[in-house]
Amino acid sequence: MEWAGPARCTDAYAIAMGFDGVTGMTTECLRIRAALTDGGGLTAADWARAVLATETAFTSDTMGSGYEWATTTGLTDAWTIKTLRSLQRKLTPLMVHVDLGHLRDL
């Protein structure tokens, strides 16, 4: 939800993360969030985009929430990094073959 709120992205960066631009990124992030909430399935491309978008929103003061993450999400930095590291360990084998430059074509 950070991308629909305090985090700001450019079309170029959204495209680099595998989205069609900022508008497409917002739509896809909401779809991915709904799938995660509802227990729906995600493709390897969805997981790669979700992890990368979350990493950026969490760490970047330039485009993401960065320093304000805990304030805007209610999640501590410690909990977030622990959760991200856990996801990275579990999902890296799935995402390792995803070509971010071609995610829009999947």
pLDDT per position as a tens digit, 39-65: 888 888 898 888 989 999 999 999 899
Query: Which value, to the nearest 10 degrees, does the dihedral of the CA atoms of residues 58, 61, 65, 71 take?
Result: 100
Predicted local distance difference test score (pLDDT) of residue 81? 96
Q: 82: which residues sit within 8 A by CB, 6+ positions away?
A: none
User: What's the rounded Cα separation, in Å, for the pair 16 and 86?
Assistant: 24
Tell me the pTM. 0.83
Instruction: Give the residue ranges of the chain where pLDDT is below 70.
Output: 96-106
Predicted local distance difference test score (pLDDT) of residue 101? 62
